[in-house]
Amino acid sequence: MTCKLVLARQAAAMIALLGSLSLIGACSSASAQSIDCAGWGDSPLCDGAAVSCNQHGCDASGCDAFGCQDLGWYGSLKAGLADNGITLSNNLTQYYFGTVSGGREQTGRYGGHGDYVANLDLGKMGIQEGLFVKIRAEHRFGESIGEAAGVLLPPTLATELPVADSRDLYLTNVLFTQFLSESFGIYAGKLDTLDGDANAYASGRGITQFSNVAFIANPIALRTIPYASLGCGFVIVSDGEPLLNFLVMNPTDTANSDGFDELFADGVALSTELRFPTRFGGKPGHQLFAGTWSSRDYVSLGQDPRVILPNIPITQADGSWSLYWNMDQALWVDPCHSDRHWGFFARAGLADDSANPINYLLSVGLGGASPVREGDSFGVGYYYSGTSDEVGPILAAVAGPIDDSQGVEMYYRSQITRSISVTPDFQWIDQARQNLDDVYLLGVRMNVQF
């Protein structure tokens, strides 16, 4: 493998950590019967050569579970751009969720989120070897069900982002990454942090896996690390995956501005994550250990779109911190396609209670690829959120009695075509606001990739 190819592979892993990078695969196992035997030699299907995709009348790069690919003019344009170092990954996601019982009111809400990403490989462009640029633009539309449900943690996070109470289009990433070797890179620019706390079965930006923020990333880190702002850091990559990521960031959210006027005016935020692969029982998994710290002075709860809170004063807190852990472990792996697997996940986190409304969080669940139908995925999760003893009483002054919260989410994502998926979703949430009844949510999500 040439140095150029290695650098490209490592940088792709880095970009996957800091943002969504859509990779179009080759053959799928069920319909195409393509057998990936790497690491799964105990399967009787893995004796001898794999069956190619030519049974569909096309080569291995042009087929999947839906048969032969017809790229069309737009697909051909994307393929041509990718050959020249420009990879596009766009998602338009629509949500219709309703409160069938409990909450503040029984109603339905329609909302959505547009996410448009371009990854530029400046090495392929002949400009600078190992240099990559990521650009992301986002907007929201319609209404979120969160306020009607009366919850603190948004049940459909994507409908709240990137800026609360605004439907405008914002640049949340203009990020430059330079790899200095096969395993070490530095980055700087404007970036969003939603892909932190990565987990194989409970991440997905609220678009491809769970919708509730409790299962997308650990909410206890949200107080110290803003959604989108200017920052810089470095990454160490091992075997094509980010191993260690260290970030220095402006501590206030600047998703709606370029951020230069606010840069470090209120202090600094630091974040570090160590995520390494495991092979318990011969199946893939990961362990993640991380921490955050901010020197910012906190004088109000603020208006973070990732947590639904009123903007009320609190006792001044000098800085904030959080520690968190997560893990994922495969229980079943398709013997003919190692990328298809399902398993269990767990999260735990602790934060200071002087500035953070959530003092601790625990979550567990199952998720991953459906063993029933190729291309589909599923998830079921439970979380318990502990409310801060210091911030809780302040919040109670305007929201009524406050206690801990817990919830369950279940979804099944059905891949209708290569580009369109439909996801029915159910959530039960035991309210932190004790004057509100438990809320039961039913909804459906439709995602279009293009």
What digits encode the pLDDT tens for the residues 60-110? 445 666 766 666 888 889 999 999 999 999 999 999 999 999 999 999 999
CATH of domain 3-449: 2.40.160.180
Mean pLDDT across 298-322: 81
Mean pLDDT across 133-149: 97
The pLDDT > 70 percentage for the chain reads: 84
| 255 pLDDT above the threshold of 50 | yes
The structure tokens 């094509």 sit at 240
φ, ψ for residue 252, nearest 5 deg: -110, 145
| 57 pLDDT above the threshold of 80 | no
For residue 403, give every residue at least 6 positions away whose Cβ sits within 8 Å of its Cβ, in sequence order, or none. 387, 392, 432, 434
As a whole number of angstroms, the distance between CA 241 and CA 422 comes to: 29
Tokens of 286: 């990961």
* Cis, peptide link before residue 162, omega less than 30° from 0: yes
As a whole number of angstroms, the distance between CA 286 and CA 278 comes to: 5
Query: For residue 384, what are the β-bridge partners?
Result: 362, 406
As a whole number of angstroms, the distance between CA 133 and CA 234 comes to: 15
Tokens of 117: 């990403």
Looking at residue 63, its pLDDT comes to 61
3-state secondary structure 134-171: EEEEEEEEECCCHHHHCCCCCCCHHHHCCCCCCCCCEE
Range 136-155 burial, b when 16+ CB lie within 10 A, else e: bbbbbeebbbbebbbbbbbb
Looking at residue 69, its pLDDT comes to 65
Looking at residue 355, its pLDDT comes to 85
Mean pLDDT across 282-287: 96
Looking at residue 429, its pLDDT comes to 98
